[in-house]
Structure 1
Amino acid sequence: MSRTRGRRRRGIFEPRESLTDEEVDHGLKLVIRDGLTTQAMVTLTGGIFLVAFALQLGASNTVVGLLAAIPPLAELLQIPSIYIVERVRKRRLVVVAASLAARLCWIPIILIPFFLSPERGIFVLILSIALYASFSAVSHCGWNSWMRDLIPQDRLGAFFSHRLTLSTAVALVISLVAGFFIDSWEAVFPDLAAYGYSLLFLLGLIAGLIGITFLARTPEPRMVVEEAEDGFFAAIRKPFADLNFRNLVIFLGSWNFAVNLASPFFTVYMLQRIGLDVSLVVALSVLSQVMNIVFYRSWGQVSDRFSNKSVLAVSGPLFMLAIFAWMFVTLPDVYVLTYPLLILIHILMGISLAGVSLASGNIGLKLAPKGQATSYLAASTFANSVAAGVAPILGGLFVDFFAKRELIWTLVWRSPVRELVFVTLDLQQWEFFFLFAFILGLYSLHRLTAVQEEGEAKEQEVVNELLAGVRRDMRNFSPAGGLRDMVKFPFSSLRNHQKRSSKEPPKEETVDEEGTEPPDSRRP
């Protein structure tokens, strides 16, 4: 009897040659449950709450930038993780082990307020986040490949859309409740604010560990690995010899650098410079996510009718406009237009990021030649990850330099009886980075003009189609769609599948195992 149990234990992570329809359906239910619990963990442990916790510990702007840089840089580990997955060939084992290791890294973070000084706590926070992101990257690589084989191809889009819808609903509710909890905790225990975040992180860890139990019970079909004709590093050089794809990589790299130069400091700016409560910052983030959901499907319809470049040509400038508007939120302090501007900015960011995330992912898929998608998209993701990782580090290093600098632009009206002075622009500290991000964003949009894609349309046509799609969706409103991508591409799954079919694959959204963002998260 004991030998039988031992064999069963040893074989629990063994893939199966084939799965019945019932096993597939049961597996999909478990993937949905894992998505909900994982999203709960990501919501409670990342984004606004992570930044606010770091600020409670006395983190500098450099530390905030470093925390924002770690996840995209860690995603570079997906490339060597391909070989781990292909060597072990037990993706469930790799995913469960890596996810467990990653989520246990939150235990030291939870204990920081109880046992460590703020200085040592910041060091442990950085180290733990680095380990968490590294293990998570390994998990993402195996999970994406696993899902490609588990989920029927004709149900991929519908399944992930449903999973994203449910996960987004969970994220919105949890983030609002958690935001009000933090404000209430700080009101009752003003000297113990950091302990409130530890409680949130503990709940997030519990949710994440529950998610692992769902992963461990999800069936895995046997992995098929095809030998590549060229070595991986030889293949990854090919995209840079392709002029059109090289232009795309330059655009995406410069765009990610511009966005990540400023976006990690939006939360810091609202909490410290404007003095908003955590719950209000969370509410603004929720507003942005709701707009993201509403417009995601409409951007997809525009992309199908015209091109991804056409979507980027409209959504990109719209997002840059939102960044430009950050410079006028304070002049130099809170004024009558501060709150209306914050609402408008988050609406614009939600609308535009839905288009940018959709089109920037799809255009890489479309321009990568058949049979070489892995190497082409690996090159693209490498550039994106480096740009997204370097930008907030540089921003954090230089933001203190601008703390003692100020640029004021005023208009003066003099008459015989009075003198009126109007402050039209006042740049201090973070506003300088918003300006730099705006200028770099304009440069990246200029680089987009060098990218060629079939089906390009004029901006006015795209706007008209977008508005028409929104009107249709609002008449029959449904929260279908999803949030921004995590910019983590399933290299190993493409490598396994790119030679199996000569037919054009349907467009689909791939979501990593750690749930929806962040992107930005990926980011404070």
Structure 2
Amino acid sequence: MSHLEPVKSLSDEELQAGLRAVIKDGVASSTMLTFTAGVFLIAFALEMGASNIFIGILAAVPPLLQLLQIPSIFIVEKIRKRKKIAVYSAGLSRSFLFFIALIPFFASGKLGLMLLLVGLVFHAGLNALLVCAWNSWMRDLIPVNRLGSFFSQRLGFSMAAAMTLSLAAGLFLDYWKYLGNYSLTFSYSILIFWGFVAGMVGTYIISTIPEPEMSRPVEQMKMLELIREPFKHPNFKNLLIFLGAWNFALYLVGPFFAVYLIKRLHLSMGIVAGLTVLSQLSYLISVKVWGNLADRFSNKSVLNVSGTLNIFCILAWTFTTLPEKYSLTMPLLVVIHILMGIATAGVILASGNIVLKLAPREKATSYLASNSIIISLAAGIAPIIGGGFADFFTKREFSWTIEWNSPAEHLAFQTFNLRGLDFFFLFAFLIGLYSIHRLAMVKEVGEVKDKIIVSEFFSQTTNRIRNLTTVGGLRYFPQIPFARRSKNIIRKTKKEKTDSIQDGKEKI
């Protein structure tokens, strides 16, 4: 197993081959997650009779079990062979997907749901060790000045695979339902099996990525000291508070978007998958632009713009029913999914990069694990709270109606209505606003005003759209006027960023 051992130094050719393998692993992992997580996993559970609280627990298991990264830190620091740890933990973790795929063949109802939960617990628990080793490994492998562009490229390829496979899976499920020969649970079992196959292919790819030797920490710390170390640095502490609040808001409603579409709006899996693909397409178009902006300016600036857009998209879900489906429901869903795809691309890319950037190299394992712990707690607690109160709010309704009375007629317009999951969309929006407030306290070199990021984003995205289309009219899509006016400001910002780096002003 010498190919699993770390190496003292990497040639440029070895580094480039390793980076290409990381991108291939992203495609394999994206394929696995498309079939075994998200909307299809929730639909699988709903088909077996899952309640809102069970959906909340199901969504909470993966992030809560990421808390196992606490002991994983010491396994990684003790063994100091991250590649070997990642390969073995990935193989064991993903083998439980095969177990989950077999459930419909020998169990159903409550027993099937319990077995699903057990399989997911083992899968997510072993995955925590993989993530801990992987994050530290990538921190040493990928050049810091290429983080934004590299991960945007990796995310782009991954999303292209997810987009194609999501639509194919949705159409497959609708066709299976149309045939009506067998239970729908068997169709989900087939998808999960192919997710297992993709996961094992990804495990092999991981084994081909070179691993640089780990840097020795400046000093050996005890467990509690290792975990508390990142919280002693005000800037990184502010970043952790932002990420905790942000993920709490996101996971309060995230697992229930699919429930809302399937049970409240009664949409078919084909339409649900189509909306997902639409979101992924906008993600794919915008992710490279966000990556360029993150490298050119700062991750914080990208987070501020994309995060704000994301929370307003969550609020927009409350207007998709008044109080039931109406003429604007589908147009609103289309717009929401397009904008959420754009926003999500920026948030995922920049939040991952800023943690990697602000974590010191010699203490990367503890800093990155502490980040994962905060996110795990927030993302694990939120869906349980959401699932626990979902049924309570199902029987509650808040309505705002404007009425006009005259001798000849009575008119009433329902302008705002909250019922069931709508309340959680509003709560998530308010918590998201607080998280953006906390982001303002994080310091990073290269910060610029939001309007510069917005103008540059529109300018670059417009160019990408024109390059992607052959339609003559779209190739002359109007330029954003203030994009040109921001050039002088951008030049000034780049100069300030260079001066700041030279003066050593970027601190944790």
For the superposition of Structure 1 and Structure 2, which TM-score range results when normalised by the shorter chain? 0.7 to 0.9
Gap runs ≥5 in structure 2: 470-500
The yes-or-no answer on 1:229 pairing with 2:251 is no
Aligned CA distance change for structure 1 residues 227 and 24 (closer, same or farther; 3 Å): closer
Q: Equivalences for 1:458-473 in 2 at 5 Å? A: 458-473=449-464
What secondary structure sits across from 1:422 in the alignment?
strand
Structure 1, residues 310-361: CA drift from partner, whole Å, max 9, x if none? 3333222211111111011011111000000001111111111222223333
Structure 1, residues 437-466: CA drift from partner, whole Å, max 9, x if none? 111112222333333444443333332222
CA distance in 2, matches of 1:462, 1:153: 21
Asked if the contact 2:94–2:196 (Cα under 8 Å) also holds between the matched residues in 1, the reply is: yes
CA distance in 2, matches of 1:312, 1:159: 18
Of the structure 1 ranges 170-179 and 108-117, higher mean CA displacement relative to structure 2 is found in 108-117
Match of 1:118 among 105, 109, 115: 109
What secondary structure sits across from 1:413 in the alignment?
strand
CA distance in 1, matches of 2:67, 2:39: 24
- Across the aligned residues of Structure 1 and Structure 2, the Cα RMSD in angstroms comes to 3.1
Gap runs ≥5 in structure 1: 1-9, 479-501, 506-524
Aligned CA distance change for structure 1 residues 297 and 422 (closer, same or farther; 3 Å): same
The yes-or-no answer on 1:360 pairing with 2:347 is no
* Matched AA of 2:125: S
Q: Equivalences for 1:210-359 in 2 at 5 Å? A: 210-216=201-207, 218=208, 220-221=210-211, 223-231=213-221, 232-359=223-350
CA distance in 2, matches of 1:405, 1:375: 44
CA shift at 1:141, angstroms? 2.7
2:55 aligned residue: 64
Q: TM-score, normalised by structure 1?
A: 0.81
1:129 aligned residue: 120
Asked if the contact 1:314–1:463 (Cα under 8 Å) also holds between the matched residues in 2, the reply is: yes
The yes-or-no answer on 1:447 pairing with 2:435 is no
Aligned CA distance change for structure 1 residues 15 and 379 (closer, same or farther; 3 Å): closer
CA distance in 2, matches of 1:329, 1:123: 33
Aligned CA distance change for structure 1 residues 331 and 189 (closer, same or farther; 3 Å): same
Match of 2:371 among 380, 404, 424: 380
CA distance in 2, matches of 1:419, 1:270: 33
* Matched AA of 1:255: W
Which protein is richer in helix relative to its size? Answer: 2
* Matched AA of 1:333: E
The yes-or-no answer on 1:431 pairing with 2:433 is no
CA shift at 1:400, angstroms? 0.9
CA distance in 2, matches of 1:57, 1:504: 60
* Matched AA of 1:359: A
How many residue pairs are counted as aligned between the two chains? 473
CA distance in 2, matches of 1:43, 1:382: 24
CA shift at 1:364, angstroms? 3.5
Asked if the contact 1:146–1:220 (Cα under 8 Å) also holds between the matched residues in 2, the reply is: no
* Matched AA of 1:468: S
* Matched AA of 1:226: R
Structure 1, residues 130-177: CA drift from partner, whole Å, max 9, x if none? 111111121223334455666678877666554433332222111111
CA shift at 1:43, angstroms? 1.4
CA distance in 2, matches of 1:11, 1:310: 43
Asked if the contact 1:15–1:219 (Cα under 8 Å) also holds between the matched residues in 2, the reply is: no
Aligned-residue identity in percent: 49
CA distance in 2, matches of 1:298, 1:24: 24
Higher relative contact order (CA 8 A, sep 6+): 1
Q: TM-score, normalised by structure 2?
A: 0.84
Structure 1, residues 88-129: CA drift from partner, whole Å, max 9, x if none? 344443222211211111233122212113101111111111
CA distance in 2, matches of 1:414, 1:198: 57
Structure 1, residues 25-62: CA drift from partner, whole Å, max 9, x if none? 66666555444333322211111110100000111111
* Matched AA of 1:223: E
